[in-house]
Amino acid sequence: MISLRCLGPIEVSVDGSDAPPELLWRKNLALLVYLARSPRGRSREHLVGILWPDKEDTKARHSLNEALRVLRRVVGDGLSTEGDNVRLEPGLVTVDLDRLQDLPSATLGQRFLEGFSVAEAPEFENWITAERTAIEAEQLRVLSAKAERALAEGAASRAAEIAEGGLRLSPNDETCARLAMRAYALGGRRSLALETFDRLTRALQDLGVAPDAATRSLVGRIRAERISPAAPAAASPTQSRAPLAGQARAQLAELTRMWTTALQGSARAAVLFGDPGTGKTLLGEELAARARLDGAVVARVRPSDGEAARETWAAILRGGLAAAELSGAPPAALAALTGLDPDIAVRFPAARGIQPLPVREGLLAAIHAVAEARPVMIFVDDAHRAAPEVVEGVAMLVERSKDLPVCLVVAAARSVSPAVDALAERIGRDLSGMVLATALLNERDLDELVGSVFPQFDESQRLRLVRRVLSDTAGNPFLAVQLVHAVRDGLNLPVAGTAAWPAALRTLDDTRPGDLPQSVSAAFRLRFRQLSEPAQLALGAVAVLGDGAAPEVLGRATELESTKLDQALDELEWTRWLIADARGYTFVARIAGEVVLADMVTGGQQRRIRERAGKR
């Protein structure tokens, strides 16, 4: 059995061992590759003409026979030379080109027969050029599909690497360029996304053309909006983003497909059920970033316990819906919104002196008007804390907007809010969409996570870490990811305790810092120390001041100048400590804030933060 690697520098092995030296002589190797890519075989006359055109006929046929003799010594009866036709028996030679889909992305990004040529055989060189063009097109198709899949599963960094492989093959390929731009934007690397566009533009200019409308539209959105939290300017491996783990990758792909359907003018709703720390918020945030990249108006809100419906409606409006497209809303709807955001009356004078609609009706009419101009996504996180009227209202939005690009995502704990449970029951009946349940990680999920973070580990090393992580986190994705990444960054795991976590019938929201295993608390402390000093100050201030800390309040509390504070908050969002909405910044997981407050901010610091913020 001969194995041929044709992408990149050519490699040949025979039955798993090095090929004999005479098989590697340039024309013998050229004959092998040419026959391997010619399953029906070739005539002797054709082979002579393509590889020995510079020789007179008798000498050329002798050279062909010598090359076939070398090849027969390796493959025996696998070489068929009946009559004038020469061919290799099926299955005798395996070629990497026959399984492009299964090849690593790094291999796919290499050229066919790189560095290989037969200078005195111009027809063979022409064949290489033609094959290279056809194979490159297939490589780009496969690389694009792999990058799309990585993006759909939330792996923006991997998607960017794959797409860049395609651009190395073909710097003017707009599909790969757009995928790289999307991946960089979703990963908070806007400068790299814009740099990719500039590289593409220069490559196309050499051909006398310009980027197409889809590419120009994408770069315009990237320039105009912050798609995802900005990565720190000098982000290191110790500041890597927490990845999606376990079934969350497949769930994000499902949500992305649902969003694509909604974009086509078919309103959709998704309900994400799950315990704290199992990834509901992360899924919603990932989908919201994709919606922004598609030019959508995105409004995100996280209600607090006991919050009045009016407060939540105001947060939804200020969280992204106060867009220019509101101008298309009926004056009575705009008049209703002035009570939620006084700036509406300033921006839209037609709303003044008009009898307003009820607040909910006005907001729904306004959202409907925006959706007639641009796609709209509403993300209600922790919806079990919202007033029932809010959940019922956003469900009504989807019901009234069936032919518009509207998407509603509701994340909640199951069986806590009757209104959310009722919404979930309607999906598939009179509302289109999906209901997903996030879950704890099992041993297989953790093995995959550990393997991706520690590719150098053997099976026994992986298994030891997997079992420890499973024991200390009970498979909670949020805690498991923190712990695995902390071990990668140098955390020496403390001796395992004897108490089980979590306690019976307890969730992450019921946990206090002292209840966490020592390893998890140590992981949080290590992550905190890896932050820049301004980010540590800002994070401590949010822990002291509580949910919804506004940037202006954080500025006073930390005494950071605005540019440094913005960079610190971007860093905290990118590293997934915090999330932001119209009201301010909140910890992704409440327990993380409590650990910071208990272990990383002294009593004196807490007092000074409150004093500077004007809070007692």
Least confident of 171-180, 343-352, 412-421: 343-352
Question: What are 45-102's pLDDT values in tens digits?
Answer: 999 999 999 899 899 999 999 999 999 998 888 898 888 899 999 889 999 998 998 8
- Is the pLDDT at 249 greater than 70? The verdict is yes
Question: What are 326-358's pLDDT values in tens digits?
Answer: 888 899 999 999 888 888 888 888 778 889 999
Question: What are 196-239's pLDDT values in tens digits?
Answer: 999 999 999 999 999 999 999 999 999 988 888 888 876 554 55
Domains 154-224 and 248-437 share a fold: no
Question: What are 15-29's pLDDT values in tens digits?
Answer: 889 989 999 999 999
> What's the rounded Cα separation, in Å, for the pair 574 and 415?
31
Q: Which CATH architecture has domain 2-127?
A: Orthogonal Bundle (1.10)
**pLDDT value at residue 615:** 67
CB atoms within 10 A of CB 331: 17
- Is the pLDDT at 503 greater than 70? The verdict is no
Task: Give the SS3 label for residue 18.
Answer: strand
Q: Which CATH architecture has domain 248-437?
A: 3-Layer(aba) Sandwich (3.40)
Mean pLDDT of 521-533: 92
CA dihedral 105, 108, 109, 110 (to 10 degrees): 140
Task: Label residue 41 by pLDDT band (50, 70, 90).
Answer: very high
Taking the model in full, what pTM does it have?
A: 0.87
AA letter at 233: A
Q: Is the four-CA dihedral 6, 11, 15, 20 of positive or negative sign?
A: positive
CA dihedral 197, 293, 576, 384 (to 10 degrees): 180
Nearest Cα neighbor of 152 from 64, 65, 244 is 244
Decide if 46 contacts 38 (C-beta within 8 A): no
As given in the structure block, the two tokens for residue 440 are 């704890």
Q: What is the DSSP letter of 351?
A: G
Task: Label residue 497 by pLDDT band (50, 70, 90).
Answer: low
CB atoms within 10 A of CB 277: 29
Task: Label residue 106 by pLDDT band (50, 70, 90).
Answer: confident
Task: Label residue 166 by pLDDT band (50, 70, 90).
Answer: very high
* C-alpha distances in Å from residue 24, one per residue of 11, 20, 29, 69: 9, 7, 5, 14
Mean pLDDT of 22-39: 92
**pLDDT value at residue 77:** 85
Task: Give the SS3 label for residue 425.
Answer: helix
**pLDDT value at residue 31:** 94
* C-alpha distances in Å from residue 390, one per residue of 196, 242, 321, 396, 615: 42, 31, 16, 10, 30
Residue boundaries of the structural domains of the chain: 2-127, 154-224, 248-437, 443-525, 531-613
**pLDDT value at residue 194:** 96
**pLDDT value at residue 326:** 85
Task: Label residue 30 by pLDDT band (50, 70, 90).
Answer: very high
Question: What are 196-208's pLDDT values in tens digits?
Answer: 999 999 999 999 9
Question: What are 555-600's pLDDT values in tens digits?
Answer: 999 999 999 999 999 999 998 899 988 889 999 988 899 999 999 9
Strands 79-80 and 85-88: antiparallel
- Is the pLDDT at 616 greater than 60? The verdict is no
Query: Using CB atoms within 10 A of its CB, is residue 572 exposed (0-12), middle (13-18) or buried (19+)?
Result: buried
Q: What average pLDDT is seen over the chain?
A: 91
> What's the rounded Cα separation, in Å, for the pair 452 and 157?
13
Question: What are 430-466's pLDDT values in tens digits?
Answer: 999 999 999 999 999 999 999 988 999 999 999 999 9
Decide if 420 contacts 412 (C-beta within 8 A): yes
Task: Label residue 505 by pLDDT band (50, 70, 90).
Answer: low
**Peptide linkage before 211 cis (omega within 30 of 0):** no
**What is the end-to-end Cα distance of the chain in Å, rounded?**
79
Domain 154-224 has CATH 1.20.120.160: no
Mean pLDDT of 184-194: 93
Pick the CATH number of 531-613 from 2.30.30, 1.10.3470, 1.10.10, 1.10.8: 1.10.10
